[in-house]
Amino acid sequence: MTLSTVTLEQLRNDLRSRLPKENRGEILESELNRFLNLGQYDTAIKLSGINSIWFGTKAPVTIGLGVIDLSSLSIQRIIKLLDADNGQVPFYDEKYFDELGVNSAYDAVRAVTHFGDELDVFAGTDAADAGVLTLYYYRKPVEMDVSTAMDIPVEFQDMVVTFAEKISLQRLGLPTTSKEQEIAVKWQALQQAYGNEFQLEQAGERGNDQ
């Protein structure tokens, strides 16, 4: 995959040219910019569903007052929390998390639950001291503005614009069924075209960290 150098202005011009001529003046540039950023995010979610190469990243985190603050991280989806001394820290659904402290079976367990910009941390009475913690996650793409390029591999540029085109048609009150079908077909083709590349890269130096 190739790092994109395509600017927001170039994407916006492409998007506007795809809209019906009689309707192009009905949408502001600021709206098209927002639709393109929505398209970039939608494409990022799709990419993250099949590989961790482009948006997969990690960051050190620390426990403070029973929580891990995530507000400085731009998280799309968490992959795992790894304790260097004790292995992977399990995640629990919030409704079960509150029951851990009243069940002696969890006395030796350290666990977390995700709520908003924090991970609430549970430590049983016999839980080992926490080691260095690393959070693995899929980051959100950097939102485009006049000074930034698209944060999506250039091979997926058309997916970004096509999604934004669908949203633009919705905004104009025009049919979108054919555009939704086009997106599905294009995404299936891209999965097939790049499936082998994803597998090869993930098996190499940029593969999953343990």
Q: Per residue of the chain (210 residues), give pLDDT as tens.
A: 788 899 999 999 999 999 999 999 999 999 999 999 999 999 999 888 777 778 999 999 999 999 999 999 999 999 999 999 999 999 999 889 989 999 999 999 999 999 999 999 999 999 999 999 999 999 999 999 987 899 999 989 999 999 999 999 999 999 999 999 999 998 888 888 776 666 655 554 433 443
Region for residue 87 given its phi and psi (left: phi exceeds 0; alpha: psi -120 to 50; beta: otherwise): left
Last residue within a domain, chosen from 105, 138, 171: 138
Would you say residue 210 lies in a domain? no
Whose tokens are 């790049």? That residue is: 194
Tokens read off for 2: 């190739």
Would you say residue 22 lies in a domain? yes
Q: What is the CA radius of gyration of the chain?
A: 21
Would you say residue 157 lies in a domain? yes
Would you say residue 154 lies in a domain? yes
Do the bridges between strand 118-123 and strand 110-115 make them parallel or antiparallel, or are there none, so unpaired?
antiparallel
Last residue within a domain, chosen from 138, 157, 192: 138
Would you say residue 190 lies in a domain? yes
- Provide the domain limits for residue 115: 56-138
User: Which of 170, 143, 126 is closest to 36 using CA atoms?
Assistant: 143
User: Which of 6, 5, 51 is closest to 161 using CA atoms?
Assistant: 6
| Predicted TM-score of the model (pTM) | 0.84
Cα distances from 134 to residues 36, 87, 121, in angstroms, run 32, 10, 14
Residues 49 and 147 in one domain: yes
Residues 32 and 65 in one domain: no
Domains held by the chain: number: 2
Count other C-beta atoms under 10 Å from residue 53's C-beta.
18
Distance CA 91, CA 143 (A): 29
Residue 72's pLDDT is what? 97
Please provide residue 92's backbone torsions phi and psi, each rounded to the nearest 5 degrees.
Answer: -125, 145
Asked if residue 82 lies in contact with residue 136, where contact means CB atoms within 8 angstroms, the answer is yes
